[in-house]
Amino acid sequence: MPPLTNTPVYFGNFLVTPQVFHLTAHSFALVNIKPLLPGHVLVSPRRPAKRLSDLNHAEISDLFLTVQQVGRMVERFYGASSLNIAIQDGQAAGQSVPHLHTHIIPRQSLDLEDQGGSDAIYGMLEGEDGDVGKHLWEKSNRRPKFPSVDDSSRQPRTAEEMADEARKLADEMKQQQMNDGSSHSSV
């Protein structure tokens, strides 16, 4: 299955078209290069706005309706019982790619018990594990800004693995929209 669009989709400076599984008039959803937990995806505005306050009313509405739809789908698809939905709005808040994005992370009871409990996800988002920009930078075969850190337990996924997940999630989004009769549809 080819990408959802022939138009290039960028997340910051990174071309992510094959990772995109849902497009709307103002937003896109993509699989994560290094998910913190299975099903960890991102939703971002199509316009490369750096901060939430940079979005206009139509973009804000579309972004959060998309977060709601994608969240419902990944929760069901990954058999989760809850979600973490997070925005790191600006560099000081931990944003690693200067393009606004919302993390959607499916959660299950006791899924991080061995790492200190359910709140461990916040440290993961703030730390090396959640540095999406660093992982994309390294994957693009450019020289990283910071020295490499041994993170052997969580390897970046291949382009093929991400494209495969994107196809599966795109099919799920279509099915969900048909079942829901959603008025907020993809383009």
The token duo for 120 is 């461990």
Query: What b/e sequence results for 74-84 when a residue is b if at least 16 CB atoms lie within 10 Å of its CB, and e otherwise?
Result: bbebbebeebb
Separation of alpha carbons 68 and 49, rounded Å: 20
Q: What is the 3-state secondary structure (H, E, C) of 136-185?
A: HHHHCCCCCCCCCCCCCCCCCCCHHHHHHHHHHHHHHHHHHHHHHCCCCC
Cα 85 to the chain's mean position, in Å?
A: 10
Is 101 in the active site?
yes
Contact 77, 176 (CB under 8 A): no
Residue among 101, 103, 135, 184 flagged as catalytic:
101
Q: Which residues are catalytic?
A: 101
